[in-house]
Amino acid sequence: MALFSLTRSHKAARVLPGFNITLGFTITYLSLIVLIPLSALVFKTFTLTWPQFWEAVTGPRVMASYRLTFGASLIAALVNVVFGLLVAWVLVRYNFFGKKVVDALVDLPFALPTAVAGISLTALLAGNGWVGQFLEPLGIQLAFNPNGVVIALIFIGLPFVVRTVQPVLEDTEKELEEAATCLGATRWQTFSRVIFPSIAPALLTGFAMAFARAIGEYGSVIFIAGNMPMVSEITPLIIIGKLEQYDYAGATAVAVVMLVISFVLLLIINALQAWQRRHTGVAV
């Protein structure tokens, strides 16, 4: 009887309300923040006929912007996977002077306004910039072309990979690495067979977050891209241009295409994560 009373008092002392109430709040909040705005986007697109929709989303400038946006986002995310892993590894495995400063700098793209980031990168990489003035005579142009888009997307996406992989590296058991070394494994074998399987799901998560962030980036890109039609014009800029021309249905049509493609890519990445967890027995 005392145990039953203790159990009832424990249940009554929950910090949060019950499942039904919290689920209701969750669905309501997600509906207000996510579902209703996306539904309005889709409903506005339905005001177009199919030929009008197809023309809006497959124009030459729009198709060129798709190739640049998704291609540059993919390249930037892949670069961030490699260098984000290196940065996370250094921050976790080594102690050095200024480590806390470096760790804080990783979060700078989170706090820095994207417009400020774009202006800073342009001032640095333009032909008369601090770095660009030395590269341009060599025929290397990093600003006002697709190269600038990739650089801007790398800048804003790096923290997603580092902050996703860093805690997983901190939790990995160093004893397994030491055991592998004692058994004669090389450094590459230890990394590929012991360390990498445990951090692969986190790397995929960081890649997905960096990729998704890059697809929708606008502020840091427009300053350094040059915004030349068919060359360095990103899809968010196409949407902004249609809105400025009061072509709201055309803007939402392009936005819906980006939404669908991004959603499908994220589903594929999540499926890869699930497959990775099943075959390695590692949980993120």
Give the count of alpha carbons within 13 A of 280, CB side only. 20
CATH domain 48-280 topology: MetI-like fold (1.10.3720)
- Helices vs. strands in the chain: H and E counts, helices first: 16, 0
**198 CB-near residues (< 8 Å, 6+ apart):** 168, 172, 280, 282
Short-list 116, 40, 82, 45, CA closest to 196:
82
Q: What is d(CA 197, CA 143) in angstroms, rounded to the nearest whole number?
A: 38
Q: What is the pLDDT of residue 62?
A: 92
**Cβ atoms 114, 122 nearer than 8 A:** no
- Nearest-Å Rg of the Cα atoms of the chain is 24
pTM value surpassing 0.85:
no
Query: Hey, where are the domains in the chain?
Result: 15-46, 48-280
What is d(CA 187, CA 141) in angstroms, rounded to the nearest whole number?
38
Confidence (pLDDT) at 3: 46
Low-confidence spans in the chain with pLDDT less than 50: 1-6, 9-10, 282-284
